[in-house]
Amino acid sequence: MKFLFLSILHLLAFPALSKTFTIASPNEMCELKVETNSTLLNYQLSYKGKTVLLPSQLSLQLKGYTKAKWDFDSCSQTKFMNHDWNAVWGQKIQMNDPSNLSVFHFHHPSLGMLKVEFQVFDKALAFRYVLNGKACLQNGVLEAEQTQINVQNDGKAWWAWADYNTQEQLFHETAIQEATWVNTPVTFRNSNGLHLAIHEAALQKYARMTLKRDSKGVFTTDLVPWKNGDLVRFNRSLTSPWRVILVGENASDLLESTIILSLNEPNRIKNTTWIKPISYIGIWWEMHLGTKTWTEGPNHGATTERAKQAINFAATHRVGGVLVEGWNTGWDRWGADSVFDQTTSASDYDLKEIARYAKWKGVELIVHCETGGDAPFFEQRMDSAFALYRRLGIRYVKTGYAGAARPIGEHLFGQGMVEHFQKVVETAAKYELMLDVHECIQPTGLERTWPNLMTGESVRGQEWEAWSAGHPASHTALLPFTRGLAGPMDYTPGIFDVDFSNRKEYTKWNGQEKEGILPRVHTSPIHQMALMVVLYSPLQMAADVISNYEQSQEWKWFLSVFQPDYVNTKILYAEVGGPVVIAREQKNGVWVVGAIGTDKTHEIEFSWDSLHLEEFHQTYVMVENPKHPDQLLLRGAEKKSSTEKVVLQPGGGTVWVIIPRPKRILFDD
């Protein structure tokens, strides 16, 4: 009786508004239900009959129109989208992510047309808001995007606290309801076994989202504001990023998803012959260890001589590139405004000569542009800096924003910085430069549209292990299932000398003395090597100093075969919060395979079948030397069966390299 009464009330209040629609994915695995209502609409999602999202309300509020009522016009015919495309580079090259697109049209007398576009994939849902039409506001301001994503509170969540300025954080594993305000990607495993991850795709001219429980305990988008509280400023039209919910039957489904990329616009760079994934070493770890400095002085790291040594090492061991940090002026005033000069070399560093030398040796020079967070100053200098690099034949640039966003009071992840990062990518494309962006907003798939945007940090990376309490092995094991779902990640793995805590040449800085911290890397050298395969980055760093690699035949061998330019990736084992084994097929036909464990011991078994190896492959396995855990052992491996059993020690790992041998010519008898 009570139910009937409520329904009648509902009908009387919104006679023509409430309509229900059901949209299935191409193979009918996901089903979306949408009900239009007085504030806009609510939606819910199921996968093979299991609930994924409970009813979730959408609404937008514009400044000056907080009470605006949108009238529902129509829902378009479902349109099939095949999302069949080839990447310039990636974990794999051929993508195919079919979806069904449905567009809901609303209108408002002064604000024009609002569309909510839904794409239902077999293993995902994506939707976005598009506001345009003649009447849409000039100089409009978005005051609130209240997008609910109502996950079920039964299961586990892996998440990091929401932060408007950093993603260099540890992750938490808790009951889902304990995740109250999170950065994305955030990952869930429901008690019905479904795996979910929430993130955004194609973030442009908008603010980054976090997810916050609203008063009813439902995740609702919370955007990073401008200093004055505006969320997004727009002129005549506003397109939100796609809100993406990935759905998996298991953890591998999440890792294999390419939907975030497929939701981005196609490649805008016509000639892509200059774009190439490479491995790299750097004048880098020594500064984090404090044995060298970014600033000029007796311990300056970036001298012409040291850069040449690094280039020689890279050329000898077939490492693609060399990053040089601290090569320019400004480092001695880090923290002040308008200090970093990305065109003037330090007095003991000759950029022109190093660029020439690197070219002569067939090694790519990666130029570092630290900004200290001062994006407006970098924007003034960017064109001339990029033009100079291009003239010198340089192709790779690493940018960084280690400092507060400017003007002070703005956030590193607000709309202003989203637009800045976009400007840098497009300017770099104009000068045919590839980018590695540190302290960036986490990727949202824009590298499909701008494939010169190679990689980004946005992660608590290796550097933290040099000058802080560091992080446990469970941190790196979780990265593929959390931050890694967003896109390429410059974690900068590959430390061979993991325990430097008592060596006197490593100096403490960054407050370690005060806190009595003895930093060290909390994973083993073999885990570090495996990370180079497991954590995807088309610019993959081997981060240790070259004098350490020099002492290891095994490392030198691995560096010479490892090329992060892949045609295919296979997930051989995956468990969120547990071990992961990933195989990547390089363009030259070599498979590199990395297995990493957590803080516990794991015995796992996986199959090689998906690699379709023929008898003409030679397999090598790299393991920890049981007698000297700080050393590695490389062995030829007999592959007797299609399954592999491995024991992963705490903080441990294993690496396999599978090399095709020239085919034997078989003669008939």
Give the nearest distance from C-beta 139 to Ca ion in angstroms.
35
When the beta carbons of 141 and 440 are compared against ligand NOJ, the nearer one is 440
457 binds ligand NOJ (CB under 6 A): yes
Say if residues 125 and 118 touch (Cβ distance below 8 Å). Answer: yes
Mark 475-504 with x for binding to ligand NOJ (rule: CB under 6 A) and - for no binding: ------------------------------
Burial class (CB in 10 A: 0-12, 13-18, 19+), 77: exposed
* Nearer to Ca ion among residue 327 and residue 464 (C-beta): 464
Rounded least distance, CB 421 to Ca ion, Å = 15
Residue 164 or 285 with smaller CB distance to ligand NOJ? 285
- Give the residue with the Cβ less far from Ca ion, 519 or 652: 519
Q: What is the spatial distance between Cα 337 and Cα 373, in angstroms, rounded to a whole number?
A: 9
Query: What minimum distance in Å lies between the beta carbon of 633 and Ca ion?
Result: 33
Q: State how far Cα 596 lies from the chain centre.
A: 19
Residue from 68, 6, 63, 15 nearest 40 by CA: 68
Between CA 28 and CA 16 the distance in angstroms is 29
The nearest distance, CB 438 to ligand NOJ, in angstroms, is 4
Q: In the numeric block, which tokens belong to residue 312?
A: 């020689």
Angle made by CA atoms 453, 457, 461, in degrees to the nearest 5: 155
By the rule CB under 6 A, 300 interacts with ligand NOJ: no
CB of 560 to ligand NOJ, least distance (A): 24
Binding mask 326-365 for ligand NOJ (x = CB under 6 A): ----------------------------------------
- Please report where in the chains the tokens 């064109």 appear, as a residue: 383
Q: Which does 378 bind (CB under 5 to 8 A by kind): Ca ion, ligand NOJ, none?
A: none
The nearer residue to ligand NOJ, 326 or 525, going by C-beta atoms, is 326
Q: How far apart are CA 115 and CA 607, in angstroms?
A: 46
The interface with ligand NOJ within residues 269-298 (CB under 6 A) comprises 284
Count of alpha carbons within 13 Å of 318, Cβ hemisphere only? 10
CB of 493 to ligand NOJ, least distance (A): 13
User: Considering the complex, what minimum distance in angstroms separates the CB of residue 401 from ligand NOJ?
Assistant: 8
**Per rule CB under 6 A, is residue 438 in the interface with ligand NOJ?**
yes
Find out whether 61 and 144 touch, Cβ atoms under 8 Å: yes
Alpha helices in 431-524 (DSSP H): 464-467, 473-478, 512-515
Question: Can you say how many angstroms the Cα of residue 552 is from the centroid of all Cα atoms in its chain?
Answer: 31
Residue 659's beta-bridge partner residues?
618
Told to check if 463 binds ligand NOJ by CB under 6 A, we report yes
Residue 123 or 438 having the CB closest to Ca ion:
438
Q: Taking the complex as a whole, how short is the minimal distance between the CB of residue 489 and ligand NOJ, in angstroms?
A: 12
> Would you give the binding string for ligand NOJ spanning residues 364-383, x where CB under 6 A is met?
------x-------------
Nearer to Ca ion, 438 or 520 (CB): 438
* Distance in Å, CB of 459 to Ca ion, minimum: 8
Please, which residue, 494 or 597, has the CB nearer to ligand NOJ? 494
Report the alpha-carbon angle 209-215-220, nearest 5.
Answer: 20
Alpha helices in 121-256 (DSSP H): 251-256
Q: Can you tell me which of 9, 170, 175, 402 binds ligand NOJ, judged by CB under 6 A?
A: 402
- Provide, rounded to whole angstroms, the least separation between the CB of residue 644 and Ca ion: 35
Please state whether 621 falls in left (phi above 0), alpha (psi between -120 and 50) or beta.
beta
- Per-residue x/- mask for Ca ion, residues 55 to 94, rule CB under 5 A? ----------------------------------------
The partner in contact with residue 570, picked from ligand NOJ, Ca ion, none with C-beta cut-offs of 5 to 8 angstroms by kind, is none
Under 8 Å between Cβ of 244 and 97: no
User: Is 403 one of the binding residues for ligand NOJ (CB under 6 A)?
Assistant: no
User: How far apart are alpha carbons 278 and 305 in whole angstroms?
Assistant: 23
Q: Which does 370 bind (CB under 5 to 8 A by kind): ligand NOJ, Ca ion, none?
A: ligand NOJ
* Least gap, CB of 400 to ligand NOJ (angstroms): 4
Q: Identify how many contiguous H helices and E strands the chain contains and give both numbers.
A: 14, 39
Long-range contacts of 213-219 (CB under 8 A, 24+ apart): 213/180, 213/181, 214/146, 214/148, 217/153, 217/177, 218/56, 218/148, 218/149, 218/150, 219/148, 219/149, 219/150, 219/151
Taking the complex as a whole, how short is the minimal distance between the CB of residue 263 and Ca ion, in angstroms?
Answer: 27
User: Site residues for Ca ion, window 408-447 (CB under 5 A)?
Assistant: 438
Q: Which two tokens stand for residue 2?
A: 């009570």
The secondary structure of 598-650 as a DSSP string is -SS-EEEEEE-GGG---TTEEEEEEEE-SS-TTSEEEEEE---SSEEEEEE-T
Q: Residues 593, 582: contact at Cβ < 8 Å? A: yes
325 binds, among Ca ion, ligand NOJ, none (CB under 5 to 8 A by kind): ligand NOJ
Q: What is the DSSP letter of 302?
A: -
Residue 97's binding partner, choosing from ligand NOJ, Ca ion, none, with beta-carbon cut-off 5 to 8 A by kind? none
List contacts with ligand NOJ (CB under 6 A). Answer: 284, 325, 370, 400, 402, 438, 457, 463
List contacts with Ca ion (CB under 5 A). Answer: 438
